[in-house]
Amino acid sequence: MKPLNLKTRIFLDGGNADETEEIINLLGFLDGQTTNPTLISKNPEARERLAKGSKFSPEEIIHFYKGVVRKISAMIPRGSISVEVYADPSTTADEMLRQGKEMFSWIPNAHIKFPSSKEGLKAAGEAVKAGMRVNLTLCFSQEQAAAVYAATLGAKRGDVFVSPFIGRLDDRVENGMDLIANILKMYQKGDGHVEVLTASVRNIDHLLYAIRLGSDIITVPFKILKEWGEKGLPMPGEGYVYKSAGLKKMAYREIDLSKKWQDFDISHDLTVKGMEKFSEDWNALIR
């Protein structure tokens, strides 16, 4: 059962509905799930098919993704399921929006993931105006999170998530958890319409510290959620200390949230690399 003092929503980060079922049975609850092209490419059914040398046609892969998302949605009908558009660095906002609209119709509880790039933010801004829920992924800086806030102004709380990627920052010795703390602090000056979804979680400490910081949502890979569940859902106590030794501090910056989103410096090499890797993994599934 969900600990009574756990306010943060816990999502599973994965592309396999069997894992969703196992986690619901183990934890006794699950608040949602995030998927992405890489996670879908790791789905056992997709792997099996590829191992037999039979890649998907462009129509078949969309049908497959829809099927996975529908199974997951049926298991978490009151939660949120994030579905990610195909976006390589040259994909236009119009193309992302077209895909997003289709994906949004697959299930009643979708958040559509767009990259925190110029075209992604443009698409997300249009999407919220059209009444869609969005999740801005591949966020690596406070400026990108500020731009997400500005690009989606007018949307109601619950309809917009921003996903800062912790593990990928840690991988290059920057303290990803600082980014979570900084964005939460910056958003305190706003209207509260964007929720912080801690992503790219690599260990239980990321999970515990994100809970301690008050992240609205955390998406956690199967292995780590299983470990947390098997340990009896431990919570970070008052004196909890996150060990960030060896990681470079990401300093807090005063940012004016009332600027236009186009006026923020949203460029980040990890966003571009992330889009390249997601599209590469997706394209590898298609003949």
Q: Which positions from 36 to 75 touch ligand E4P by CB under 6 A, shown as an x/- string?
A: x---------------------------------------
Parallel/antiparallel/unpaired status of strands 194-198 and 160-164 = parallel
Q: Which stretch binds ligand E4P (CB under 6 A): 118-126, 146-154, 159-167, 255-263?
A: 159-167
Buried b or exposed e, range 113-146, using 16+ CB within 10 angstroms: bbbbbebbbbbbbbbbeeebbbbbbbbbbbbbbb
Q: Which positions from 90 to 129 touch ligand E4P by CB under 6 A, shown as an x/- string?
A: ----------------------------------------
Q: Which residue is nearest to ligand E4P (CB)?
A: 200
Which residue from 276, 281, 277, 274 is spatially nearest to 90, judged by alpha carbons? 276
- 111 to each of 63, 187, 197, 205, how far by Cα in Å? 18, 20, 12, 26
Q: Which tokens is 193 given?
A: 């319409």
Number of residues that bind ligand E4P (CB under 6 A): 11
Q: Which stretch binds ligand E4P (CB under 6 A): 148-156, 165-173, 184-192, 259-267?
A: 165-173
As measured in angstroms, the least distance from the Cβ of 220 to ligand E4P is 8
Give the residue with the Cβ less far from ligand E4P, 100 or 255. 100
Instruction: Identify whether 113 is a catalytic site residue.
Output: yes
Residue 212 touching ligand E4P (CB under 6 A): no
Which residue from 285, 215, 261, 286 is spatially nearest to 114, judged by alpha carbons? 261
- 241 to each of 5, 58, 237, 248, how far by Cα in Å? 18, 47, 9, 17
Q: Which tokens is 12 given?
A: 């599973």
As measured in angstroms, the least distance from the Cβ of 38 to ligand E4P is 6
Distance of CA 100 to the CA centre of its chain: 15
Per DSSP, the three-state class of 286 is strand
Give the residue with the Cβ less far from ligand E4P, 139 or 146. 139
As measured in angstroms, the least distance from the Cβ of 246 to ligand E4P is 19
Residue 34 touching ligand E4P (CB under 6 A): yes
Residue 219 touching ligand E4P (CB under 6 A): yes
Residues that bind ligand E4P (CB under 6 A): 13, 34, 36, 137, 163, 165, 167-168, 199-200, 219
Query: So which residues are the catalytic ones?
Result: 113
